[in-house]
Chain A
Amino acid sequence: MARNLDRRHFLGLAGAGAGAAALAACGGPSTGGGTAGSGAADIDFSGVKPASSIDFWTNHPGKSQDVEKAIIEKFQAKYPEIKVNLVTAGANYEEIAQKFQTSQAAKSALPGLVVLSDVWWFRYYTNGNIIPLDSLIKQLDIKVDDFQKSLVADYKYADKQWALPYGRSTPLFYYNKDHFKAAGLPDRAPKTWQEFGEWAPKLKAASGAQYAYIYPALAGYAGWTLQNMLWGWGGSWSNEWTMNCDSAESVAALQWAQDSIYKDKWAGVSSKEAADDFSAGITSATIASTGSLLGVLKSAKFNVGVGFLPGGPKNETGVCPTGGAGLGIPSGVSKEVQLAAATFLKFMTEPENTAAFSAATGYMPSRTSADMSAVLSKTPQIKTAIDQLAVTRVQDNARVFLPGADQEMAKAAAKILTQQGDVKATMTELKGTLEGIYTKDVKPKLKS
């Protein structure tokens, strides 16, 4: 029987066809179950030939594009058979993570080597996005013992090495020497926040700056730098997997910070980048990454001093967190690409290259044998950052292992430091949020 095909029928069929095609095309993730950290098994690279070309995804931490290009040129000269394409994959760690995660979902266009920050690598591990480097370290004879131990240990989990340090940093106390001199203060960073609290009114009066101290921008890793105060007061975001950000010590630390803004009125909160505010002379002191050091030295029109982070009433030392980024190799690329990427990773982290990277950015050299004499003679302030490494502390699990925790911490800090919110209530609410993230997103994926 013949059937009419009028416009209405046609549109109906077209709609049905589109729907059917859509349902048929519903790929996405597999719902058949999977294991976290599926790339955990050691990979055998024997007999594998390195790929002829790899992409290196970076956000050029510390404005490192030029030095990255220079290192790649050196690599090409030594390994002409492996071409490295430098790809700007984002302006910061979050953007590079976004691109990497999206490529994982699309299952295409993955790089050979990727920059991964302290708060992202663990997620890549739990999602099975990166491979353990142990067999590659062995095959390529990468001298792991020569790396700064604490920096390498940051990427160790379940007895495997998941990344190697690259643009690693710690926060540093920056101060305006001219302001300190005008206020009759010693030319050094304060030993404790209490000491700085005594200095601050004099600083503000003598300097003419808006603030004696500016807290780092809340959108710029507030959870990272605030660990310094929490630890100084004997508190923390978490103790292992127990969220204790509402402890009396943590609340006291943040209450002191709030008072410095609203009660004592000598501190403020940066809106975008504390290092820029400091360079512009808005504040006499701040805390910023060592990765900002060269930028500050270049742009500041005054004498810049740097020092260790101040301690608190409970702990005067061991109050500085490590941070920054490492390099990892995706699991979703071929063994050939992984081997080529590891070859480049080894080269990137050679002592002379890590020294060059450090000289160009202010990030710390990740190798203990890196010859820093030329760098230090040119920029002696870097030595303070290197020396501070000895008194660093591993970050709280809550900040580095819980997805989105850093943002939740920043929001809580915003409530306390910019809206004068109740500290105890805010931290109790944050604790609940962090526990929820842990229970839902992390606990099920942890190795028992």
Chain B
Amino acid sequence: MLKIKDLSVSIEGKEIIHDVNMTIKNGETHVLFGPNGAGKSTLLMAIMGFPKYRVTKGNISFKGKDITGLTMDERARMGIGMSFQRPPVVRGVTTRDMVAACLKGSGDGDAIDMLASKANLDEFLERDINYGFSGGEIKRSELMQLLAQKPELTLMDEPESGVDLVNIALIGELMNELLEKNCPIQYRKCMGLIITHTGHILDYVNARTGYVMCNGTIGCVGDPHEMLATIREKGYDECIKCYLGRVPF
């Protein structure tokens, strides 16, 4: 379980997220909506533990342990994984090297080949990671690495952006494998927190809880499909108005 309590996060002294609360139980996938600059990515980065994203208040606990003070590699080893929206190119480090690092010695070359085949990235294994990759290739590569890493909590920042309609089905399949969609819910352990702008990914993943984030706070919690319909119809302005109407000044 991931439990976020009264979390405030600052970047270079400026508070971006204020008093966020969130609980994701084992087997659940939650979705984050919100306009640009709402703080969605900041929340994911803070959960992953990027040093630049400083927790100034509250705490994050994962699997019953307070992880607020842990480094990102410690969090990764505890079972938190993240799909980067714009991952860096690391020259000389191949995609195969990255998948091998994610496997942590638990799989051999065949395991890497199988994962690449699944993500339709066979031709990319010997290339430098992310070097010259298209938007869709980056997304598939990120998910392939996560499949090797096998995190219990997967954080995904716009997994469908830059992906064409043919590839989005493959992205959906990979995400479902990560989130154990085929596993009966009572046995499902893996959790997901997904940022989406378009909501296309909702056609593929089994998300039951959605949030709308505005100005660094969570304004609304509910059924993600209903939320998406409202956002599509009325836009985020309506969400903000609704939220402001409920918050006393």
Q: Do A and B come from one complex?
A: no
| Interface residue ranges, B against A (CB under 8 Å) | none
